[in-house]
Structure 1
Amino acid sequence: MTTILEEAAMTGVPATGESTARYPAYDFSRPAQLGRESTRQLEAAFESFARLWSSQLTAKIRVRTHLALEGVELVSYQEYADTLPSTTAMVAGSFAGREEPCVVQFGLDSALLWVVQMMGGRSTSMPEARTFTPIELALVRNLMEGTLDHLSASLGGLLPGAPTFSAVHYNPQYMQVISGAAAVIVARYAMRLGDAETTATVMLPASAVVDRLAATGSDAGAGHTAAQTVAQVRSTPLEITLRLAPLTIGAGEVLDLAPGDLLRLPHPETRPFELVAGRTTLAQATPGSRGSRLTCLITTTPEETP
């Protein structure tokens, strides 16, 4: 069969630049943000923790303590570490069976004030920040074991288990137990110790929390059924093409083509065309028309082909 070289493809969905222009570019260097409902659920849990922690500190160090939640965000660990002082107290809590820790962070000057108060001393101002001595570390560890218990009680099923005291780190940049690109959930607090004001944070590994957060949401019981999945697939736009059997020619022949040239196509006149999506053959069909519109009549599908 000899035919004039013309476009022989029939597209089911027109390809336009508008379909991609509607969607903003996704920044893979930043994790996706928390949903509004998830944020509210986390805020309620972290506010409960703030009340328990402030009550614990008030009872232990005998200084009236108040914590106010400033916000909850989902960031990378490196972004979180960049907001912290170069030297600070980071109490790591480990989960059984997981490498990623949770972290309760506060200023070293705040912790040293706690130690002074717990040992019966009195301080009218914040001590100068420095790393802990072995005795101070033992006192801080005893205090923070109770704090981690309060964290577990407040977040409940959002955690993969009860965190246990692991270690105290002093430099957020050198904390090697978590990747800088790992997504973390951070709660930031304004802390008042008597007349002194400072800050504190709680960091949770997002990988340990996000799935549990979704499972405890209001739509947790409305999981996608098989019928909903099929309906979604059926409604997805798919570009299809009606094509003849392909012809292989040399690159030189392509460069020499000109209007009016004829190409002999290896497609028998009695053979139906192929209806394809990408490289997958969906069916065989014969071309036709209905009024001014091009059509094709499905003759066989892969299941019917012997």
Structure 2
Amino acid sequence: MIASVRLDEAAARFAEYDFGRPAQLGRESTRHLEAAFESFARLWSSQLTAKIRVRAHLALESVDLIAYEEYAQSLPGTTAMVTGVFEGRDESCVVQFSLESALLWVVQMMGGRTTSPPESRTFTPIELALVRNIMEGTFEHLHASLGSLLPSEPKYTAVQYNPQYMQVISAGAAVIVARYTMRLGDVESTATVMLPASTVVDRLAATGTDPSAEHTPQQTIDQVRSTPLELTLRLAPLTIGAGEVLDLAPGDLLRLPHAETAPFELVSGDVPIARATPGSRGSRLTCKITNITEETH
């Protein structure tokens, strides 16, 4: 029973490790990416507000490192996926949003007004031209926000509608996905930005934001040396019955098994550190180390 309880507690405390995708982003790398993607959210919001004349707001929800296949499966069956290509590279990036949101952009840009998103459908040639005009500026903002993390400014290439049929990168390749909540007036939807990890991770390490890039054994030693420990000066323990403890009263005397001339034990938690004799310096109590306890295994 004790063993099962401990297993349940461990399962609740520690997240499951997925051996299918062992790659992970470092804490500093994640923070750097989150700051960059939040900057992009502000720029994209301003661009949409100016273009479609409806107040737009984007809130970053998460930044994850996953396989492209997992990303594609998380998207709706029909959606707008705008691809951008980097100069001199085969991998593409993707900015994805709902077709309803994009059609709402078009209605507003053409001078129309609507209180609800239009019915989802693919773009007409005129609608596609308007969406392309917006997305070319969006890719500029993406490059401005991520800066040196991207090899170059992505250039608009195409719009795809079915994520299951669009293969811009191999299914098992790692990608970085930023997920947003997009609000246009009173209409709320979701949007994502996908970047091939191969174009970003190495550049993250090169910027020195990832601790593993500069970590040295001396840093570990320095960290251990600066860790605070609580020390206790302890007498030899006394064992008495529970009944005697219940009968204790002010004024009772307990005979301790600790010899008057024997040094006390200096411990951290329950681990003996040294032996020491008590003393004083001015108004403060002190202890003088007499010998260090040697570990035996």
Normalised by the size of structure 1, how large is the TM-score? 0.63
Supply the AA of the counterpart residue of 2:27.
Answer: R
| 1:45/1:78 CA distance change after superposition, 3 Å | same
SS in 2 for 1:181: coil
- The correspondence for 2:50, drawn from 46, 52, 59, is 59
For residues 189-242 of structure 1, give each alpha carbon's deviation from its aligned partner in whole angstroms, at most 9, with x where no partner exists.
0011000110000000001000001111346896599xx9xxxxxxxxxxxxxx
Q: Is the 8 A contact 1:77 1:179 kept in 2?
A: yes
Backbone CA RMSD of aligned residues: 2.2
CA offsets per residue over residues 90-137 of structure 1, 9 Å max, x none? 000000111111100000000000001111111110001100011100
- The 8 Å contact of residues 115 and 136 in structure 1, kept in 2 or not, is answered as yes
Residue 130 of structure 1 aligns to a residue in which SS? coil
**Partner of residue 156, structure 1:** 147
Residue identity (%): 79
- Identify the residue that residue 42 of structure 1 maps to in structure 2: 33
- Name which of 169, 186, 195 aligns with 2:177: 186
Distance 1:92 1:113 in 2: 20
Secondary structure of 1:72's counterpart equals: strand
2:93 to 82, 102, 110: 102
Q: How does 1:188-207 map to 2 (within 5 A)?
A: 188-207=179-198
* Structure 2: runs of 5+ lacking an equivalent: 1-15, 219-297
> Residue 114 of structure 1 corresponds to which residue in structure 2?
105
**How many equivalent residue pairs?**
203
Q: Secondary structure at the match of 1:39?
A: helix
1:60-92 per-residue CA deviation (whole Å, 9 max, x = no partner) reads 000000000001000001111111000000000
Unaligned runs of 5+ in 1: 1-24, 229-306
Q: Structure 1 residues 168, 220: closer, same or farther in 2, change over 3 A?
A: same
2:66 to 75, 78, 82: 75
Residue identity in the other structure for 1:67: L
Displacement of 1:27: 5.6
Aligned in 2, Cα 1:219/1:125: closer, same or farther, shift over 3 Å?
Answer: closer
Q: Determine if contact 1:38/1:217 at 8 Å carries over to the other structure.
A: no
CA pair 222-176 structure 1, distance change in 2 beyond 3 A: closer
Amino acid at match of 2:59: A
Maintained 8 Å contact 1:31/1:75: no
TM-score (norm 2): 0.65
CA distance in 2, matches of 1:195, 1:176: 34
- Aligned CA distance change for structure 1 residues 44 and 137 (closer, same or farther; 3 Å): same
Asked if structure 2 preserves the Cα contact closer than 8 Å seen for 1:191 and 1:198, the reply is: yes
210-219 or 163-172, which deviates more: 210-219
